[in-house]
Structure 1
Amino acid sequence: MEKNEHYFLAVRLSKESKKLLHEKAEQLKSELKFARWVHPEDYHLTLAFLGNASESQLNKTKELVQKYIDGSSAFSLTIQHFGTFGRKDSPRILWAGVNKEERLHQLRNLVFTACEKAGFHLDTRPFSPHITLARKWTDSSSFSLSFLSINNSVEEKPITFEAEEVVLYRTRLEKTPKYEAVATFPLLTE
């Protein structure tokens, strides 16, 4: 295991939704001064951040995630709005949010429980489903959420995709894109 590697489980976005979301991000990029914009291939919806992990922990996690989500069905998600984390005037994260979907929360709870059973100590803050688009506001002027409502908000043209699989990703900080799929757990499709 390389020292810059960490792991997380996430819902993979479809290629089309990544493309459409990237187009929105490009529109925002010309107006919003963030230090780093996420590569479109790295868009995902995190269910559980694991951090560093041994091979045996990863094997146990794969086994338990498969067991816990067995029988879970795919479902639709809609990217509907933008938001930020961090200080309102100088946010550390710009994100795209998804509609409230009970099946997403159920899936997250199953994955979260499987990871805890595998021995991980996970973040216990409330689940806030989002797709990170950019990091670290750098403009000398204060950030304002009005930037987002003016700039073709996804509320006007929502992006819908099927959540069809959970993926265990490895982060490679020195690469672009930096997230590499290690294992995939398909959800049932009709």
Structure 2
Amino acid sequence: MVLQRHYFFALSLPEEIKLKLKECCNQLKNSYPFARWVHELDYHITLAFLGQASKEQLNQATELVGQNLHESHSFPLTIDSLGIFGRKETPRIFFGGVQREEMLQEVRNQVFKSCLEAGFKLETRPFHPHITLARKWQGDDKFPYTTFEMEKRLVTSLTFKANQIVLYESHLDREQKYEAIKTFTLND
């Protein structure tokens, strides 16, 4: 059976931020039993999920992303909260949330526009930037939503310079699932 490859553009995180998020997750694993915790090297903020793609379509998208990000500058970004997606009792995603940053929205819009121009059909839900930390609640009890609401701030905010947009290829059969195919560095 051939595994389908999926592609996406994302804002990458610096290694030191990935390690700090991993430490945070290690402290949370016993309290929040999710089925799969994301490998720390796979932490990112998705900007545009492409799904399957031909080489020609990927080449066109990367060319357009490069052109549209040519004038874009790096910016500070802060991870400061934890959150969930899905049902309160059995969430499907546990994530690190970021403070609102207009430059992130601008970069996302440039990437999104480039992918549409390359012919990709993209998700139309509003952009909610986050770092997926774990998937699929598997606790014996319901997710402790009330307690979580009171504790969901990160003990220490993590601020970093957002300066790289990456085209990733998914390898769902690997422990580290995402391989960088092309990297775009934003201007300082």
> TM-score band (shorter)?
over 0.9
- Paired residue for 1:181? 180
Q: Secondary structure at the match of 1:109?
A: helix
Query: Does structure 2 conserve the Cα–Cα contact (< 8 Å) formed by 1:167 and 1:181?
Result: yes
SS in 2 for 1:56: helix
| TM-score relative to the length of structure 2 | 0.95
Equivalent positions of 1:20-169 (< 5 A) are 20-145=20-145, 146-147=147-148, 149-150=150-151, 153-154=153-154, 156-169=155-168
* 1:161 Cα deviation from its structure 2 partner: 1.0
Unaligned runs of 5+ residues in structure 2 are: none
Deviations 1:135-183 (A, max 9, x none): 00011211123236447x41x3101111111000000011121100000
CA–CA distance in structure 1, aligned partners of residues 18 and 94 of structure 2: 16
Q: Is the 8 A contact 1:50 1:122 kept in 2?
A: yes
In the superposition, relative to structure 1, how do residues 149 and 19 fare at CA in structure 2: closer, same or farther (>3 Å)? farther
Aligned length: 186
SS in 2 for 1:159: strand
Unaligned 5+ segments in structure 1 are none
Structure 1 pair 148–134 and aligned structure 2 pair: CA distance change class (3 A): farther
Q: Which amino acid aligns with 2:39?
A: H
Distance 1:150 1:127 in 2: 24
Could you tell me how far apart the structure 2 residues matched to 1:99 and 1:174 are?
33
**TM-score of the superposition, structure 1-length normalised?**
0.94
User: Take 1:26 and 1:5, find their aligned partners in 2: how far apart are those partners?
Assistant: 29
Are 1:9 and 1:169, in contact at CA under 8 Å, matched by a contact in 2?
Answer: yes
Moved over 6 A (4+): none
Amino acid at match of 1:184: T
Q: 1:171 matched to which residue of 2?
A: 170
1:101 and 1:144 map into 2 onto residues whose CA distance is: 30
Contact 1:79 1:96 in 2 (8 A): yes
Q: Taking every aligned residue pair, what percent have the same amino acid on both sides?
A: 49
Shift of 1:4: 2.7
